[in-house]
Structure formats: structure tokens, C-alpha cells
Amino acid sequence: MAQLSGEWPDLCYIANVRALAELCQKLSSQQWITIDTEFGFVKEFHPRLSLIQIATLHPPMIYLVDVIRIRKENIKTLFDEILCNTRILKVFHSCKQDLVLLHAVSGQLVSPVFDSQEAYGFLENEQKISYKRLVEVYCEISLDKSCATSNWIGRPLDQTQLEYAANDVKYLASIYPLLQQQLVQRGKLKWAYDRFEMFTSEPLYSRSRSWLNLKISKDLTPEQFGMLHILSLWRSDMAVQRNVPPTYLLTNEELLQIATSADPQWRNEKLRYNFTNFLNSKMAMHQQILDFYLNLYPIYSNLDDILARFQEIIAECSEQHGTSRAALASYKEQLLFIFEDPLITQSFMDPNKFWYHLIGASLTRVLHSYRAPS
């Protein structure tokens, strides 16, 4: 491994397959590591992974894995031996986007994980604490985050970028044991790990949930909602096939216009023709989607009222237990529960999970009060 000179003699840059193999051997004996990623926004479906940062506390070491130079196809060893090793806990700050990106690169779910942002949310009534703020709270250090939007695709990375990337895991290695201890002391460790487990059971924000990025309205008819849903699935599939961001094909506003207009205007005839073929090949699925929204109409036609009642329940529980509302249920998770997403419904209604006793049963009673009589 090449050792970098400068402020941290414990910073190692991993830029070839041999160094990566040596790193995996070193990390294999660790019980936990801290991890972060840097990526660049390119004209592709997913951002392009540039760097994987890893830190250990014993011994105190920081490793920067250069995914651009090693190449994505050679990074599999790191996933097989470390990132997907169930004996090693991976500690992130705000892990959702990292997990989606790492899954896109490897096709594997990184597990098990600990998320410091979510953990802090169970300890304090503070919404989605930033990493910069977390370091200020626990380490009394103010980090320079000016490199957050710098060019992470170009090579070589400069010293400022390397130090920025290292900081994202360096301080987390000191903070994680403190968070773990506080969760134990307050009897909330099980709550936190219930949430972490949900993140790794499947990619929470996968293409099947792409409609969450659209503006959901209670005024949509079941037919319009069904059309919007299948348009969103088609756009995601097309974007994956062409490896472009979904909005490069059609914007969210264009999807809504097509789904709700009696005379939809397409950007070009080729896209309209492609969607028509997709729809004709998915008639059974389209009918299932339509039936779903017809049955759910008594619920989602009262969406604003239901969300308001949800937020009252969650706010009261948050105040009672000294947690953030987002730690209990984010806005998107509330929507997924209303629209009967299997993962969220199973998590909220499992008596062995913290959600059921804190909010799940109460949220369910709200939904039942809006259901049409059978």
C-alpha cells in the first residue's frame, strides 16, 4: 500500500488490485469499520462511484480505495470479503444513498450496518443531523465541507480532497462507540438496529419505488394514479437500459402531464411508441396496478388528512421518547405505509419491531378509519 505523506501518516491510498487484496486481509479481523463513499454526478443512471473510504480504530488507520483506478470489475473482492461479510459491522453516516450506490456497483446488499445519523435521531429530538454537526457535538471540531461538490471523477485527487475524504470516516470511528454506548444506556439499541436491518433487507429506494420522486396528489383518479405508476416504472426501465438519468427521458412534470391529460403531449414520437409497446406487453401488470388504486382510493383520496394525523401521532411519540420524528418514520416511509409497501408494512406491523408498539398500531387504526365498509 502506498502511504501518503502529510498531516496523517495513517492514511493509505489503495489504487491497485494487489493493495486491495492486502487491505481485505487486514480488515478481515475487524469487528467493525467506518465507511463512506465519494461519487461524481455524470450523465448515467447512477452517480459514478469514485472512492470508498474506510477507517479502523484499532489500529487507527484510514484507507482510501480508488474505485476509478482499480476499476469496478476488480472491486468485487472488497464486497465479498468485507462489505458483505456478516461478521463485520459497517458504520456509516446517512447510509441510504451509499447503500443504493454500492448495490448498483456490486449487485450485493452491504450488511450489517450502523447509521450514526439514524442512531443520533433516537437519542435526541433533532431531525437528520449532518455529519459536520455530529462531529461538532462529539468531537468539538468544525470540519471544512467545501470539497463536498468538488470533482471526484478526475485524477489525481488533490491533497485537500484526500483529507476531506479521510475526515468523513476518521471522526466517525471515534463517535460510533459513544453512540452505541448511549443507545444501550437509554434502552434504544434494539430500536436503532431494527431500523438498520430495514435498510439492508432490500434497497429501500429501488426502481419499484421510483414513483416516490413524483408529486403525489390526492386529486388523482385511480386511472391516473395507475398510469402514473406504470409510466414511472417504464421510465426507470428505459433509463437503466440506456444508462441515463430518468429525467433525461422525461421530467417528472412531463410524466404527470401524460398521466393526467386527455390529450397527452410527448417529447417525441419515439418515446410514445416505446411506452405503448411496453404497456401492451404489461397489460396484466397494468390491470393489477389499476385494481390496487381502485381499492386504495378511499385511503389516498384523504391523503392530506391521513398524513396530518400520522404526523400528530409521530410528533407525540417523538416528544414522549426524546427521539426525532424522522427516526420513527420519515415522510417517504409514511407514504409507503399508506400505499401498502410490503417492506414498510411488514416492519411497522411486526410485534417484534419497535415501530409496532410506538406508532404502527396507531397508524393502522387511522388507515382503517378511512377504509370503505366491506
Q: H/E/C letters for each residue in 352-374?
A: CCHHHHHHHHHHHHHHHHHCCCC
Residues 113 and 155 placed together within one structural domain of the fold:
yes
Query: Cβ(14)–Cβ(3) under 8 Å?
Result: no
At residue 5, the pLDDT reads 35
- 2-3 sheet: strands from edge to edge: 2-3, 11-14, 61-66, 48-56, 32-40, 89-92, 113-115
At residue 312, the pLDDT reads 98
7 φ, ψ to 5°?
Answer: -65, -35
Instruction: For residue 253, give every residue at least 6 positions away whose Cβ sits within 8 Å of its Cβ, in sequence order, or none.
Output: none
Residues 37 and 59 placed together within one structural domain of the fold:
yes
d(CA 324, CA 237): 35
The residue from 148, 173, 201 where one domain ends is: 201
Burial of 232 (0-12, 13-18, 19+ CB in 10 A): buried
Residues 244 and 323 placed together within one structural domain of the fold:
no
Residues 140 and 73 placed together within one structural domain of the fold:
yes
d(CA 290, CA 178): 49
Residues 33 and 155 placed together within one structural domain of the fold:
yes
Residues 345 and 365 placed together within one structural domain of the fold:
yes
At residue 194, the pLDDT reads 97
Residues 358 and 322 placed together within one structural domain of the fold:
yes
Residues 120 and 258 placed together within one structural domain of the fold:
no
HSE on the CB side for 193, CA within 13 Å? 12
pLDDT along the chain (374 residues), means of 10: 44 95 97 96 89 95 96 90 97 94 90 97 94 96 90 94 95 96 98 94 67 81 94 93 94 95 94 96 95 94 96 97 96 92 93 96 96 69
pTM of the predicted protein model? 0.93
Domain that holds residue 326: 303-370
At residue 374, the pLDDT reads 55
The residue from 169, 201, 233 where one domain ends is: 201
Residue 133 cell numbers, joined: 454537526
Domain count, the chain: 3
HSE on the CB side for 104, CA within 13 Å? 19
Residue 204 cell numbers, joined: 429501500
Domain of residue 245, CATH code: 1.10.150
DSSP per-residue codes, 13-30? EE-SHHHHHHHHHHHTT-
